[in-house]
Amino acid sequence: MLLIDIIANALKGMVIKGIAIDVNYINNPKQADKRSDPFITYIDISEVPDFSANDVEISRTFYFDVDVMTKKPYLLEQIKKEVEKRLESVGFDTLAHASTDFGEEGIAHKPLSFRITKLKEEIDNE
């Protein structure tokens, strides 16, 4: 299964305080007015060889950004914790997160960062 599908499945059906969270594999905060509130987008940022031996790649690390956006900033911390819990449960590591920023039209944005390392043979079998 592709990593973006693993993320989608892990975040599917998220409800915080009775509010369903819309989740999409894109990263376009300017589309916020066309989405439900709150919503999450995610995108793969990079992948790098992690470990090799005798010039053979053994493992690779993948980096993902997850963006939580809402006009209800009081929900950000709960959503952040739930995203971390769900992604950690499927093997992702949580990285340091940037601080919350506030964009146009009062939209609060919390960027989150994650990584996962996979063995080369796992990648080749996907």
The dotted CATH code for 3-124 is: 3.30.2000.40
pLDDT along the chain (126 residues), means of 10: 88 92 72 70 86 84 92 92 96 89 83 91 74
Q: What's residue 31's pLDDT?
A: 53
What would the two tokens of residue 66 be? 């997850």
Would you state the pLDDT for residue 119? 86
Please give the Cα distance from 2 to 123 (Å, whole number): 9
d(CA 113, CA 121): 25
Spatial neighbors of 11 by CB under 8 A, at least 6 apart, are: 21, 23, 40, 42, 83, 86, 87
Looking at residue 28, what is its pLDDT? 55
pLDDT recorded at residue 81: 95
Report the C-alpha gap between 40 and 111 in whole angstroms: 10
Q: Give dist(CA 91, CA 49) in Å, integer.
A: 18
Q: How far apart are CA 68 and CA 64, in angstroms?
A: 13
Domain boundaries, the chain: 3-124
Residue partners of 97: CB distance under 8 A and separation at least 6:
80, 110, 111, 112, 113
User: pTM to 2 decimals?
Assistant: 0.84
Q: Phi first, then psi: give them for residue 60, nearest 5 degrees.
A: -140, 140
